[in-house]
Amino acid sequence: MNHIYLGIKGKAVCVDKNNGNIIWQTTLKSTSSVTNIYLEDNKLFAYSGGHLFCLNKADGTMLWENELKGFGYGPCIIASENQDAAQINAQLAAQQAAAAAVITASTVATTSNSGG
C-alpha cells in the first residue's frame, strides 16, 4: 500500500507515498472545488459536482459515471457496507473541514481584495 488518493477540484489523483510523485490524475467532468473519494478493493469512487464516478484504482481510467439526476449538487458522503459508523463519521468530519477551508480561503481572498 504505497499510494494515497486525493479528491481535489474536480480531479482524482493517485500519489506515491514514498516520494510524493503523482502516479495518475483523472479530470472528472465537474469543476467542483470539493471532490469526495472512497476507495474499495480495486475501485476508486469519486463524487464531484453532482456526479458519481467509478475509476480503476491502478490507472485512473473511468469505469462508469452516474449523473445522479434529481439529487442536486450539494455535499455528499460516500459509504459502503464495508464501512462502520466510526469510518463514516471520520469521513464526514474530513469533508466538513475541507468545506470550511474553502469558505475560509474565499473569505480571506475577498477581504484581501476589498482592501479590508
pLDDT tens per residue across span 44-59? 999 998 899 999 999 9
Query: Is pLDDT of 43 > 90?
Result: yes
- Of residues 87 and 74, the one with the higher pLDDT is 74
- Of residues 48 and 89, the one with the higher pLDDT is 48
Query: Is pLDDT of 79 > 80?
Result: no
What are the φ/ψ torsions at residue 2 (nearest 5 degrees)? Answer: -105, 10
Contact 11, 25 (CB under 8 A): yes
Mean pLDDT, all residues of the chain? 83
Average pLDDT for 12-21? 96
Residues 6+ apart with CB under 8 A from 10: 27, 28, 29, 30, 31, 32, 33, 35, 48, 49
Contact 49, 11 (CB under 8 A): no
- Of residues 112 and 64, the one with the higher pLDDT is 64
Q: In 10 A of CB 60, how many CB atoms?
A: 18
Grid cell locating 6: 486525493
